[in-house]
Amino acid sequence: MHRKGFVRKFKVLEILTEDQIEEIHKATLDVLWETGIRIEHEGALKVLEKNDCRVNYQDNRVYFPPRLVEECLRNCPGQFQLTARDPKDSLWVGDNRTYFGAAPGMTTVDLKTMESRVPTRKEMYDAVTVLDALETVDYIMQYTPYFGFEGVPPAMAMIETLAAKLRNSTKFTAEGYSNDCEIFTIQMFQAVGADMFISCLPSPPLTYHRGSIEACLRAVEAGFAIKVGGGGIYGGTAPATIAGATVSNNAELIAPIVLFQLIKPGTRIIVYNFNYPQNMRNGAPAFGAIESSLHTAIFNQTWRRYGLPTWDDSGEFSSSKGIDFQLGYEKSMNTLLPALCGGNGISVHGAIFGELTYHPFQAILDDDIVGMIGRFLQGVEVNTETLATDVIKAVGPIPGHFLNREHTQRWWKAEQFLPKAADRLTYPEWMAKGKKSALDYAEERMREILETHRVSLPLTPSQEEDIERIIREAKEFYTQKGLI
Amino acid sequence: MSTNLLDDLQKAIVTYAAEDASMLATRIVKEGIDPLRALDTMTLAIRQVGDGFNKGKLWLPDLIRASEAFQAALPKLMEELRRSGKERKSSGVVVIGTVFGDIHNIGKDMVATLLMADGFVVHDLGVNVTAERFIEAVREHRADLLAMSALLSISAPEQKKVIADLKNTGLRNTARVMVGGGAITQEFADSIGADGYAATAPLATALARTLLNQR
């Protein structure tokens, strides 16, 4: 049993030729063998050295032979299940299926002033409830909806956020790493019988710090999946050219995949695309830039060649500070394009400005964006019934019409996506109903969800006890480390 | 001859030619030209680039590459300056770096370059700088100002540690402290006892001047 997501019913959008993809592949192998990847983890270096990599222990550089790279990529499963704590919410990742999910924000945003602030505990739990209720939210990313909440020390942010997600949602959730927090988050997932994937984040260019590798080795050991990738900024931490950024990014992704496949062959890997051009005015990533989608297109095409499922984050972020026109067009374009290019997971719901702000109203508006894109992915069915020649014949020219036909009744809801927050009133209706916008409807929907929605499978008392105990142990751990 | 070399040095910086800048610095020293004149020329050149950036005519790669050309010429001239026993007048001496546990350098580099352009003598310690190295550098260079960057919320508390260590080593009253970076807010800066916070590189330059004028 797994969530349906959306299955793309037509040919994937590809923008490079086979020869160009081959050139990118060869360039990637060349970087892995000639330039190598810096991995600051002695245990990892030893495993890689034992398996024919050249290792320079002076600068922690590993050089990967092409044969080993190709073999390890072949060992990665192309499709697999990610089990949620309620089986109905499990994911089946790979092939033509696209899931959409919630994206992070460090803080919440005050919609009157458009200024951000740390959310309260209630706002965190309410935001999770909204995500649990939204039909197009298939998963909830790490650091999502918020990076912790008021009164939570930074070291406990990820752990407390995960507790909120497990308590108020049954949807699949992913985790990150920070200061060994995975020791505790892994226990929490085990306590509730849920799968997860942990992020293996490079520090581009071509570097992995110890924390990232150590966290993932713990997760691999415990049998969890790994989401590898992210972070290259074209012109800053990656080449300014999109093709070059793809080469350095792919080389960064392949290095830990080789490591994990050597340690535990068949480990479930998702490759993750989090790449933006650099804003050459202030050094920040240019969130919302269309070049992200160009990169995503190539990213998906190259990784389809390798047979691994992809996760795309180019659509989640915008440079807009509020819920406005810019946010709408940046998010829509950069969510639609990865979907057409075959992304298996696309994070979108809720994020407003970069990774800095999140708002549940936006998650509700994004539910509509994703619904529209999902409808597009389902394509157009062509058969005797849908060609409708019988009904066309029966209706004939005016004064005939189709509203009174059984065919219409049977088909219109399957063919039309009905947005929940968009304003589709006629002008007089709009005037009469108080000139409401999509934002007003999103707010109304949020209130309604918070009043009516309850998580389908609450934690059992013993699971709740385990979560409380793990949180206590984490607090003791960080107090001893001087981080609380 | 000397004028030409100085003109060439200025040109090397505004055209981002680091190798030329380094070579010209060597020739300037060899020709016996006053290193103070060369340093003034370089400051003018980097100010020209900084102004272009602040006006929106130049972009980040321009700023960073001009800074690298500046840095390429600097060691030779500083060595000659020390040898000659002369002192360089400046707006102030700054020690700058990204704190321990954080390897983000772009924001810090922007601030360092704009401070140089504004006539400060800048000692850039790079990224992942421990409290110990910050303290050593403040002492060694008799810094007027310590500038620390942190992009990560996890690394931000390190700024508090550095300020505490400055106090413990008796250096807190000799140097003003300003902080910045993606993870930092005015409230955070106040809570850790920093003297100032700036959200952008141009604001950081203005803040540096304000802080040093307050002394």
Amino acid (1-letter code) at residue A417:
F
The CA dihedral of A285, A290, A294, A299, to the nearest 10 degrees, is 40
- Min Cα separation A244/chain B (Å): 17
Nearest to A299 by CA among A240, A344, A348, A329: A344
Q: Which residues of A touch B (CB under 8 A)?
A: 106, 147, 154-155, 157, 178-179, 203, 209, 235-236, 278-283
As a whole number of angstroms, the distance between CA B9 and CA B24 comes to 6
As a whole number of angstroms, the distance between CA A15 and CA A108 comes to 37
Q: Quick one: A288 and A368 in the same domain?
A: yes
A440 in any annotated domain: no
Q: Quick one: A332 and A189 in the same domain?
A: yes
As a whole number of angstroms, the distance between CA A229 and CA A227 comes to 7
Considering all CA atoms of chain A, what is the largest pairwise distance in Å, rounded to the nearest integer?
84
For residues A172-195, one letter each, b for 16 or more C-beta atoms within 10 angstroms of the residue's C-beta and e for the rest, the string is bbbbbbbbbbbbbbbbbbebbebb
Q: For residue A427, give both structure tokens.
A: 């002008």
Q: Are B104 and B129 in contact (CB under 8 A)?
A: no
- Min Cα separation B66/chain A (Å): 15
Q: Are B135 and B106 in contact (CB under 8 A)?
A: no
- Cis check for the bond before A399: say yes or no (omega within 30 of 0): yes
CB nearest B59 (choices: A178, A203, A281): A281
Q: Helix (H, G, I), strand (E, B), or coil: what is residue B57? A: coil
- Cis check for the bond before A428: say yes or no (omega within 30 of 0): no
> What are the DSSP E strand ranges found in A337-452?
345-349, 357-358
- Domain final residue, candidates A359, A377, A395: A377
Contact B200 A236 (CB under 8 A): no
pLDDT at B215: 62
A478 - beta bridge partners?
A: none
pLDDT at B1: 46
* Residue of B63, B103, B106, B151 best to disrupt the A interface, most CBs of A under 10 A: B106
Contact B154 A154 (CB under 8 A): yes
Residue spans of chain B under pLDDT 70: 1-3, 215
ipTM of predicted complex: 0.80
Helices within A322-405 (DSSP H only): 325-340, 360-377, 384-387, 389-395
B183 - beta bridge partners?
A: none
A93 in any annotated domain: yes
As a whole number of angstroms, the distance between CA B133 and CA B142 comes to 14
* CB contact B59 to A (< 8 Å): yes
* CB contact B154 to A (< 8 Å): yes
A27 in any annotated domain: no
Cβ contacts of residue A70 below 8 Å, gap of 6+? none
Contact A283 B106 (CB under 8 A): yes
* Residue of A279, A282, A356, A483 best to disrupt the B interface, most CBs of B under 10 A: A282
Nearest to A467 by CA among A24, A110, A159, A65: A159
Say if residue A151 is exposed, middle or buried (CB neighbours under 10 Å; 0-12, 13-18, 19+).
Answer: exposed
**Phi and psi at residue A342, in whole multiples of 5°?**
95, 20
Q: Which letter does DSSP use for residue A143 in this model?
A: T
Q: Give the total number of structural domains in chain A.
A: 2
Contact B103 A203 (CB under 8 A): yes
* CB contact B61 to A (< 8 Å): yes
Q: Are B170 and B139 in contact (CB under 8 A)?
A: no
Cβ contacts of residue A75 below 8 Å, gap of 6+? A261, A265, A266
Classify the C-alpha dihedral A181-A187-A189-A192 as positive or negative: negative
CA distances from B75 to A65, A289, A317, B78 (A): 41, 40, 43, 5
Q: Establish, for the pair of chains A and B, how many residue pairs have beta carbons separated by less than 8 Å.
A: 30
As a whole number of angstroms, the distance between CA B114 and CA A107 comes to 30
Q: Are A182 and B82 in contact (CB under 8 A)?
A: no
End-to-end CA distance of chain B: 42
Contact A281 B106 (CB under 8 A): no
Residue spans of chain A under pLDDT 70: none
* CB contact B200 to A (< 8 Å): yes
A453 in any annotated domain: no
Contact A178 B154 (CB under 8 A): yes
Considering all CA atoms of chain B, what is the largest pairwise distance in Å, rounded to the nearest integer?
55
Task: Count CB atoms within 10 A of the CB of residue A9.
Answer: 12
* Residue of A201, A233, A280, A481 best to disrupt the B interface, most CBs of B under 10 A: A280
CB nearest B107 (choices: A147, A280, A283): A283
Question: Could you tell me whether strands A37-39 and A61-63 are parallel, antiparallel, or unpaired per DSSP bridges?
Answer: antiparallel
Amino acid (1-letter code) at residue A33:
W
- Min Cα separation B117/chain A (Å): 17
Q: Are A308 and A270 in contact (CB under 8 A)?
A: yes
Q: Quick one: A393 and A299 in the same domain?
A: no
* CATH number of domain containing A289: 3.20.20.480
Q: Quick one: A300 and A406 in the same domain?
A: no
Q: Quick one: A326 and A391 in the same domain?
A: no
Q: Quick one: A207 and A344 in the same domain?
A: yes
**In terms of CA atoms, which chain A residue is nearest residue B108?**
A283
A159 in any annotated domain: yes
Task: Count CB atoms within 10 A of the CB of residue A419.
Answer: 17
Contact A203 B59 (CB under 8 A): no
Q: Quick one: A282 and A223 in the same domain?
A: yes
- Min Cα separation A448/chain B (Å): 34
* CB contact B83 to A (< 8 Å): no
CB nearest A154 (choices: B59, B153, B200): B153
Q: Helix (H, G, I), strand (E, B), or coil: what is residue A415? A: helix
As a whole number of angstroms, the distance between CA B98 and CA B106 comes to 10
Amino acid (1-letter code) at residue A254:
I
Task: Count CB atoms within 10 A of the CB of residue A292.
Answer: 30
**Domain of A211?**
6-15+74-377
Cβ contacts of residue A266 below 8 Å, gap of 6+? A75, A76, A77
A197 - beta bridge partners?
A: A225
Contact A203 B110 (CB under 8 A): no
A243 in any annotated domain: yes
**In terms of CA atoms, which chain A residue is nearest residue B158?**
A483
Contact A278 B60 (CB under 8 A): yes
Q: For residue B101, give both structure tokens.
A: 């546990």
A107 in any annotated domain: yes
Q: Quick one: A399 and A340 in the same domain?
A: no
Q: B90-100, pLDDT tens digit by residue?
A: 889 999 999 98
Cβ contacts of residue A130 below 8 Å, gap of 6+? A360, A363, A364, A446, A449, A450, A453
Residue with tokens 């840095």: B71
Q: Are A350 and A315 in contact (CB under 8 A)?
A: no
**Which pTM value belongs to this model?**
0.89
**Phi and psi at residue B149, in whole multiples of 5°?**
-115, 145
Contact B61 A235 (CB under 8 A): yes
- Domain final residue, candidates A328, A356, A377: A377
As a whole number of angstroms, the distance between CA B60 and CA B55 comes to 12
Q: Are B50 and B118 in contact (CB under 8 A)?
A: yes
Q: Quick one: A267 and A345 in the same domain?
A: yes
Q: Quick one: A267 and A388 in the same domain?
A: no
Q: Quick one: A263 and A368 in the same domain?
A: yes
Classify the C-alpha dihedral A409-A414-A415-A417 as positive or negative: positive
As a whole number of angstroms, the distance between CA B125 and CA B95 comes to 7
Q: Quick one: A172 and A257 in the same domain?
A: yes
- Min Cα separation A154/chain B (Å): 7
Contact A179 B154 (CB under 8 A): yes
A463 in any annotated domain: no
H or E element that contains A125: helix A121-133
Question: Could you tell me whether strands A116-117 and A107-109 are parallel, antiparallel, or unpaired per DSSP bridges?
Answer: antiparallel
pLDDT at B2: 53
Amino acid (1-letter code) at residue A468:
E
